[in-house]
Structure 1
């Protein structure tokens, strides 16, 4: 149930009070000041600065060429390689490709259709002979048959074999035997002559293809030449149990009909050689940056001159620095432009600009740290004795990639920290030429840092150390092992162990950097951490001891205001520690002149009674300025200083304003309202507005003689409505629901503070005088108790 309601709330406030002007500033000076103010509040100015600095350090600046020497010339200085080079070893590459080409066996093709054609010719020949015997006259048989066979089949069969065929009547048995024997010999493969093997086939063998999908490497003995084929045919004929005449006939026909069916396939052989050469990867040898090519005082050899020529050629072929700078500038300009509009949609302008500046500075600082560690990695790799530590990539796992993420996680929200983690990982990837491995390593390590700060909380800065040592470092080791497993070639146990040690070192260095830089970022960018607030609210601090001794009323007032504001802040989900600290410090300006403030004035002393209302209001108003000066001397955080400056807003000092209207003659002296107002500005945040309300409510509550529930409720409503109508809450974004919650909290807390107590029997603490009994009352009769 809502006990507080703003029934007299007006939607239209009166005219805004005019600000006090000490004197007119010259237009030229004012314009100059406004120009610089607009410049330092322009995010695009910082965009250009940040992007240019990042692009400059990220851009590749080609070093100068090495001086040319002649062979035998003495070097006047050390000639050192200015960059890492992967140079193609043309001789080794050509040698390996030639070896791969020579390893390709010559390809020979066995024509399966050759035997089928021979078989068809034999069948047609025998069929033709049988038909011819039926139609030809006996005397002209052999001569006519030889001529007819030569014309029809293009085969010159000797007369003796034709006579044998005629006498056997072109026997089907001879036909099938001939086909079978020729097929058996042809299946092994027959080449015209083995003298044609000029591609080292006798030593290396060859590849015999029987079809598109059938091939096998064989020695030269695996196929026959034409002579060996006839000998194999003759051997097979001798094994047959046939007549001598048929054997002679078969041998004679084989001389004519047995043909080669294997030939060299030049096109396929050349194609395979080309593919073998293409499969051989280009061989590179690496020239490390810093390697001494020629030492001072040494003679330049032909090998040295070759290295110098190769280095200078690579330097000439390197892309232009300005082109690279322009490309890098455009890329990061897009990043920062997107970042600004995202932050602007997420936060108010001042907060967004502050985060924007912090991100730009952090990225530049991170890049410089990464560059420094890259230099150290190169240096250590050159002097390392262990082979696993001679590679620069191993040391990159020890870079403190997550120190910026730890700082952001400690000082800002998780959403902002995630954006920085993404930008930081992109920066790392770009710095290492798009190396996906280190980009992923940086990003996931950043997510681990966010979780670590959330787990260990933000109350102490040691959470940064714990996060780096106990969260980031183990995650780094896990990532290193995972990245090794997903690579095509896994490194040895020694390499993985070295990288894991570097990962642990990277986590520790990230923690150390973050721990050291946290106070710097807090002060430079105006962040107030829980650790800082805990230190600031320590009641044993000298400022509070001085306040308690010299301005006890103001000190007690600050304690009650902090109680009111802290309880309400808890209801609204605001930063309770910031509200508490702001409430405790909001009136430290009263310590300078405590006697001029009512809560510190003794009963018999009132310094204002001899002062004019304008002078009294000036003294009262000045405590805000003196509080800001004290905050500066105490080096309080910017947010607390702003609370001190805004805890009265630009409100009116009503008591002395109304007193001035009573004292001064309006015809003789014009009373301006702005002369009795605080300088402001009105509260710009909810914390400052909450303290302003608590300050006024607590002070007003002391003026109530009977602090009952209803009286306190009316007081709170009047105070709230007055500030709403005066426009003091216009810039703090309080909703009506939040104002009701604050009012409810104030009402509950105040009533608890001013709760009534039962009277102690037998005591008269107020020293009431005993009166004579009247109207039948006895002298010791009590009147009615005042209402509770």
Structure 2
């Protein structure tokens, strides 16, 4: 069986033939993009910033600010040469077989600097061409499975019959792979489960959970006040505790692949650095307790987890996790060399252990990103990847807002910029979450754009309405925004910004107008009809957006011209 499995595993994958139509489609897309760029370049009515915005709004293409400025600044001759270079690279590379697993290598070729182009031209070419390079051959699952089946069938079967009572292997015999397979088939290599091992793992898991609960109760003001986070933390601890026990029971090398750094990074982002460090040390001690070479494995596990979490400074960027994974690898490798080098007579086993450590660091970073996706899906916890996706201005909901309520769209961008700057100056605030929340906080206004000042062009429909009707329309943008958020499946943390950015404040302008109509008699005006339903901001992030929204709206209305006037407006 092992020979058959090995033959099947070694059979080469079978891929589909080269699909040249994909290359033609990519080339046509690139030509269409450049046609649009030429229209923008020729636009004499728009400002440079507006043109840059148009370029950065091209769907499916990422144009950095500097590249966009280069596209607009190139002379016509230099632009034509850059365009032809991009098209030539696409045409040349897309004629070759590009498998999905080789895509990065081909894109790297597309980004090679040119010796004949200027710096500005080269920047345009290297930043655009690679984005049009895509796979044009794909794995043929059916043919691959058939090739593997043929390889397995070509291996002759070896049958050995064991009679009852027959001796399988003697003490002192050299054990071959065939002997091991035979013992496995007979069930003689199955490890028995010792109740003491189970009790040990249960108690260590229970201790970890108890510490988390006590910490949560003691320091709940420093971590998200949300039961979903607590559930995620407890389940992560149980999963990684069970994984440690399983990996210790496996081959000797397997425990060196234990991805403790994944748990450390997940906990750090979910509930903070301090609790992450505590749990990392506890899990490391548990690994040392249940495994041989306990001191080495304890230090190995602790070093990887602590190095990753202590160097995970900017958890709002994906590459920060890979840097943290590299730091974990450094920790793993250092401990490996400390313990293995003095004990080993040969260098090869030490190098193998070093490779395990490096691989573990990379694996931990990748598993962290996957873990965020799973945790976000199961527990409603917003993840870094979700924030990055929602920040893209070509998101369908933001594009719809731009088309239907351009004034509100501009207001939201301004609030996002203002709120993000404030968030970066406040401790324990997720500035990326603040920015995204500000982008979407007013999406409900696209239902009835003309009723909001920023979208009006001379005519104010409120002039013909009763104050209470006007107030109800203004208030409704919160519930209508939440309806849109559910439709587009925005994360719960983003929906909080929609619900909380006005709190339970009065729509004061229309309330005062209603009072004036009844000669100031408050008993004749139902205050609740002029009040937002809330709730008030329940996090620092939503509170910052609430303040930024008020400041931006007021400054747009009053248009302060001096620094003193701006300061007075903010303090009011």
Which TM bucket (shorter chain)?
Answer: 0.5 to 0.7
Alignment of 1:83-122 (within 5 A): none
Could you say if the C-alpha distance between residues 498 and 530 of structure 1 is closer, same or farther in structure 2, counting changes exceeding 3 Å? closer
**Residue 453 of structure 1 aligns to a residue in which SS?**
coil
Aligned to 1:414: 273
Counterpart CA distance in 2 for 1:493 and 1:658 is 83
Counterpart CA distance in 2 for 1:583 and 1:709 is 24
CA contact (8 A) 1:649 1:683 kept: yes
Aligned to 2:465: 611
Alignment of 1:615-634 (within 5 A): 615-634=469-488
CA contact (8 A) 1:80 1:291 kept: no
Residue 534 of structure 2, aligned match among 657, 680, 692: 680
Could you say if the C-alpha distance between residues 79 and 335 of structure 1 is closer, same or farther in structure 2, counting changes exceeding 3 Å? farther
Q: Is it true that 1:480 corresponds to 2:332 in the alignment? A: no
Q: Is it true that 1:464 corresponds to 2:337 in the alignment? A: no
Counterpart CA distance in 2 for 1:681 and 1:665 is 31
Aligned to 1:596: 451
Deviates more, 1:582-591 or 1:703-712: 703-712
CA contact (8 A) 2:258 2:360 kept: yes
CA contact (8 A) 2:419 2:434 kept: yes
Give per-residue Cα distances to partners, 1:593-616, cap 9 Å, x unaligned: 112223223323x33344333332
Counterpart CA distance in 2 for 1:594 and 1:448 is 51
Q: Is it true that 1:361 corresponds to 2:246 in the alignment? A: no
Could you say if the C-alpha distance between residues 505 and 716 of structure 1 is closer, same or farther in structure 2, counting changes exceeding 3 Å? closer
Give per-residue Cα distances to partners, 1:508-539, cap 9 Å, x unaligned: 33233223323333454555566654543333
TM-score w.r.t. structure 2 length? 0.59
Could you say if the C-alpha distance between residues 618 and 393 of structure 1 is closer, same or farther in structure 2, counting changes exceeding 3 Å? same
Aligned to 2:132: none
Residue 544 of structure 2, aligned match among 690, 712, 732: 690
Aligned to 2:73: none
Could you say if the C-alpha distance between residues 681 and 433 of structure 1 is closer, same or farther in structure 2, counting changes exceeding 3 Å? farther
Alignment of 1:565-604 (within 5 A): 565-573=419-427, 574-604=429-459
CA contact (8 A) 2:257 2:359 kept: yes
Structure 1 residue 393, shift from structure 2 partner: 1.6
Aligned to 1:394: 253
Counterpart CA distance in 1 for 2:562 and 2:361 is 60
Residue 403 of structure 1, aligned match among 239, 256, 262: 262
Counterpart CA distance in 2 for 1:523 and 1:338 is 26
Counterpart CA distance in 1 for 2:346 and 2:497 is 60
Could you say if the C-alpha distance between residues 622 and 464 of structure 1 is closer, same or farther in structure 2, counting changes exceeding 3 Å? same
Structure 1 residue 507, shift from structure 2 partner: 2.9
User: Which 5+ residue runs of structure 1 have no aligned equivalent?
Assistant: 1-72, 82-88, 93-284, 297-306, 378-391, 719-788
Structure 1 residue 712, shift from structure 2 partner: 5.0
Residue 341 of structure 1, aligned match among 197, 204, 214: 214
Could you say if the C-alpha distance between residues 397 and 568 of structure 1 is closer, same or farther in structure 2, counting changes exceeding 3 Å? closer
Q: Which is strand-richer, 1 or 2?
A: 1
Aligned to 2:56: none
Could you say if the C-alpha distance between residues 586 and 339 of structure 1 is closer, same or farther in structure 2, counting changes exceeding 3 Å? same
Could you say if the C-alpha distance between residues 426 and 353 of structure 1 is closer, same or farther in structure 2, counting changes exceeding 3 Å? farther
Aligned to 1:644: 498
Residue 373 of structure 2, aligned match among 516, 519, 538: 519
CA contact (8 A) 1:484 1:491 kept: no
Could you say if the C-alpha distance between residues 523 and 461 of structure 1 is closer, same or farther in structure 2, counting changes exceeding 3 Å? farther
CA contact (8 A) 2:248 2:290 kept: no
Which protein has greater RCO, CA pairs closer than 8 Å, 6+ apart? Answer: 1
Could you say if the C-alpha distance between residues 617 and 566 of structure 1 is closer, same or farther in structure 2, counting changes exceeding 3 Å? same
Give per-residue Cα distances to partners, 1:144-176, cap 9 Å, x unaligned: xxxxxxxxxxxxxxxxxxxxxxxxxxxxxxxxx
Counterpart CA distance in 2 for 1:627 and 1:587 is 7
Counterpart CA distance in 1 for 2:248 and 2:199 is 24
CA contact (8 A) 2:205 2:238 kept: no
Q: Is it true that 1:537 corresponds to 2:411 in the alignment? A: no
Residue 442 of structure 1, aligned match among 301, 312, 315: 301
Could you say if the C-alpha distance between residues 712 and 461 of structure 1 is closer, same or farther in structure 2, counting changes exceeding 3 Å? closer
**Residue 402 of structure 1 aligns to a residue in which SS?**
helix
CA contact (8 A) 1:701 1:707 kept: no
Q: Which is helix-richer, 1 or 2?
A: 2
Structure 1 residue 680, shift from structure 2 partner: 0.6
Aligned to 2:81: none
Counterpart CA distance in 2 for 1:360 and 1:508 is 25
State the structure with more CA Rg: 1
Alignment of 1:270-349 (within 5 A): 321=195, 328-348=201-221
Q: Which aligned runs of 4 or more in structure 1 are off by greater than 6 angstroms?
A: 78-81, 293-296, 664-669
**Residue 619 of structure 1 aligns to a residue in which SS?**
helix
Structure 1 residue 442, shift from structure 2 partner: 0.8
Aligned to 1:432: 291
Structure 1 residue 418, shift from structure 2 partner: 1.2
Structure 1 residue 705, shift from structure 2 partner: 7.7
Counterpart CA distance in 2 for 1:613 and 1:552 is 25
Counterpart CA distance in 2 for 1:557 and 1:448 is 42
Aligned residues: 403
CA contact (8 A) 1:398 1:504 kept: no
TM-score w.r.t. structure 1 length? 0.44
Could you say if the C-alpha distance between residues 630 and 548 of structure 1 is closer, same or farther in structure 2, counting changes exceeding 3 Å? same
Structure 1 residue 495, shift from structure 2 partner: 3.7
User: Which 5+ residue runs of structure 2 have no aligned equivalent?
Assistant: 1-161
Residue 164 of structure 2, aligned match among 59, 75, 83: 75
Give per-residue Cα distances to partners, 1:287-315, cap 9 Å, x unaligned: xx97856987xxxxxxxxxx99xx99x97
